[in-house]
Amino acid sequence: MQFRVKRIGCAYKSKCAPHLKLRNHDQNTNMFLIISCFALVASALGCGVPAIKPQVSGYNKIVNGENAVSGSWPWQVSLQDSTGFHFCGGSLVNQYWVVTAAHCGVNPSYHRVILGEYDRQYNSEPIQVMYISRAITHPYYNSQNFNNDITLLRLSSPAQYTSRVSPVCLMSSTSSIPSGTKCVTTGWGRTGVTSSPRFLQQTALPLISPDQCKSYWGYNRITDAMICAGASGVSSCQGDSGGPLVCESSGVWYLTGIVSWGTSNCNVYAPAVYSRVSYLRSWIDQTIANN
């Protein structure tokens, strides 16, 4: 799916694609190395291009959903307390910053950012446990209606980019994505009434128009800072909060929404509501630049 993106890229002051030089006497060797590691370089130093390609089968729901390919969503973050309890998701946007939902209530003194996780039972994959130096919540976040439901987390030390850990691109403030576009949300939220998954889950789901969303939730509940998706047998659920809703264009994935709210029972026929990244992009850039 392609959509119109006028200004796109990594978060402010993050590294994007590297400049590679070839020496004349060693062009063949260097060209081989460039070709063999191109996918890794794109993932490690750029944004939105996983080194391990995602495989999404369609409209399977996180509630009773499907396992993601290990490492295929390298910006996915698990927010955990000191006991290892997962309570929210998030998205890595550069080496020092993670985007999550304000309603997750992250406390830098008690909570940690886990990068590179997939299997929460055995932790067989390499993970990075990161401390948080600051949690900056949008100044106009409303805990009653979840308007401006976004918090930025500054890591105490830089994330190390690998084939399993790399940032997502941020949707620009001028982007336009048509309703019906199929996007993907990921997380370790509930997969049933009480069950939580061992492996990272994924689901493809369509964006729906503001009018469609308002007709379900009421015209006073859906604001310009929100975007809706689902309502077709798919849904995110508790524990997915703060995690990504990403849309793909020309092989690059863009953070379009942040899992925010929905029905208390994760009704897969009700629209799920996400914080709209394009609306919040200016605040994100300003906050990162000033901190």
Determine whether 224 is an active site residue: no
Three-state secondary structure string covering the chain: CCCECCCCECCCCCCCCCCCCCCHHHHHHHHHHHHHHHHHHHHHHCCCCCCCCCCCCCCCCCCCCEECCCCCCCCEEEEEECCCCEEEEEEEEECCEEEECHHHCCCCCCEEEEECCCECCCCCCCCEEECEEEEEECCCCECCCCECCCEEEEECCCCCCCCCCCCCEECCCCCECCCCCEEEEEECCCCCCCCCCCECEEEEEEEECHHHHHHHHCCCCCCCCEEEEECCCCCCCCCCCCCEEEEEECCEEEEEEEEEECCCCCCCCCEEEEEEHHHHHHHHHHHHHHC
Catalytic residue among 14, 43, 103, 235: 103
Determine whether 241 is an active site residue: yes
Contacts of 93 (CB under 8 A, 6+ apart): 10, 11, 14, 47, 75, 99, 167, 168, 170, 255, 284, 288
Contacts of 106 (CB under 8 A, 6+ apart): 79, 88, 100, 132, 135, 151, 153
Determine whether 149 is an active site residue: yes
**Which two tokens mark 200?**
């990272």
Catalytic residue among 149, 235, 275, 278: 149
Please give the positions annotated as active site: 103, 149, 241
